[in-house]
Copies of this chain bind each other. A is one copy, B any other.
């Protein structure tokens, strides 16, 4: 029986019309990265499983795709785990490799492994697939692409400012209006400090992160059930409800935060970033969002998140500063900052906004109609010359009815055909037909080449 032709849940084929649009996104991101001096690396699709586990929280560990060991893997399997029917425990002994879950952890591993072969500050970009065994839904796939840029080995906030510039330029090129949200983990820590609830930092952050979705009253309830006193909740409420520009917010908070060293540090960083972004004329694009808390796992300073203004899709780009990422692999005191564009969601946003415009599926400018053996030689002569002049062109490979060949040309979106039958051959000319207008011209090969060159 024939196998069913289907792909695994959450994965996709990309047909030519889809792929040219994806390439359009990738190439815009890549060319902006390169313009800002980033260089490209690639890491393997699979990593040793210890490189991945424990880096993304318990939830992340569950979402890792693990690769079954080759050969007689049961010979080395953990017998106790087998006995106990413990799938999770057994995995460690029968699946020693896993698929990349993001590009950040493999990059940290790369930096440590190749520390003597690269120049710091190291500015790298990387556009590769990642895999997560997540439940597929709108905007969420099991195989998807991340497009990351990181600067590692520099603490300057100029790096953050350049990343915001990159975000701005990429989305302007892609015709997506976005809001770039900024925050700083140190400010969140400062907030916990000034209400004397440092040890409830996580609970506070998780609660205020929900402000957009559940509103201030529910946030207050959640803070209260975490054990915060009314006075502390009022203070948070006051901070969250302050309206004003980025710089107004900063000066308002400086008054509140003067007892928190870390909080003041976060505010100073935000102010410095503000100055750079003012220099780069980007103040209208950004928004200081105190509720922003993404990626608390490893971010230690600036936090960045980007959402589309005209489509509801969640975050389409995000990032931040991490002071300690490479220490997992034994290299301490190397600060880094990076961003990641989610190409698949950006694709979905652009589809929804209908901003791709016309991107041709192929380069082919001309298709030569195949009139059969007799005329083929004459047609092939033209084909060789066209290609020698770097004009993308094709011949219909079979002798089929003209109508079929014309339909094929139309369906492929090829703009011109060349017809070369007996009469053309005798004249040493070719008939060029514009598929859109229907207009035909009898031309020499040189004339055709000059038209398309």
Residues in A lying within 8 Å of B, measured CB to CB: 2-8, 11-16, 19-20, 23, 34-48, 50-51, 62-63, 65-68, 70-75, 82, 85-88, 90-91, 94-95, 97, 99, 109-110, 112-114, 117-119, 121, 123-124, 129, 131, 133, 143, 151, 154-156, 158-159, 162, 276, 279-280, 327-330, 361-364, 367, 376-377, 380-381, 384, 387, 390-398, 408, 411-412
Contacts and interface: CB of A to CB of B under 8 A. Distances in A.
A173 to B, nearest CB: 12
A50 B75 CA distance: 25
B5 A113 contact: yes
Main SS of the interface on chain A? mixed
B3 A363 contact: no
A37 B394 contact: yes
Contacts of A129: 45
Contacts of A143: 44-46
6 contacts: A2-B327, A8-B97, A35-B390, A36-B394, A37-B362, A67-B67
A178 B118 CA distance: 35
Contacts of A90: 74
B35 A363 contact: yes
B66 A41 contact: no
B34 A392 contact: yes
A338 to B, nearest CB: 13
Given A3-B328, A16-B40, A121-B396, 13 more contacts: A5-B51, A5-B109, A5-B110, A7-B113, A8-B97, A13-B41, A14-B41, A36-B394, A37-B364, A62-B70, A67-B99, A154-B397, A279-B377
Contacts of A276: 380
**This chain's copy number in the assembly:** 2
The 7 closest A-B pairs by CB, nearest first: A11-B44, A2-B330, A37-B394, A16-B39, A5-B113, A156-B397, A5-B112
A158 B74 contact: no
A435 to B, nearest CB: 14
A38 to B, nearest CB: 8
B44 A118 contact: no
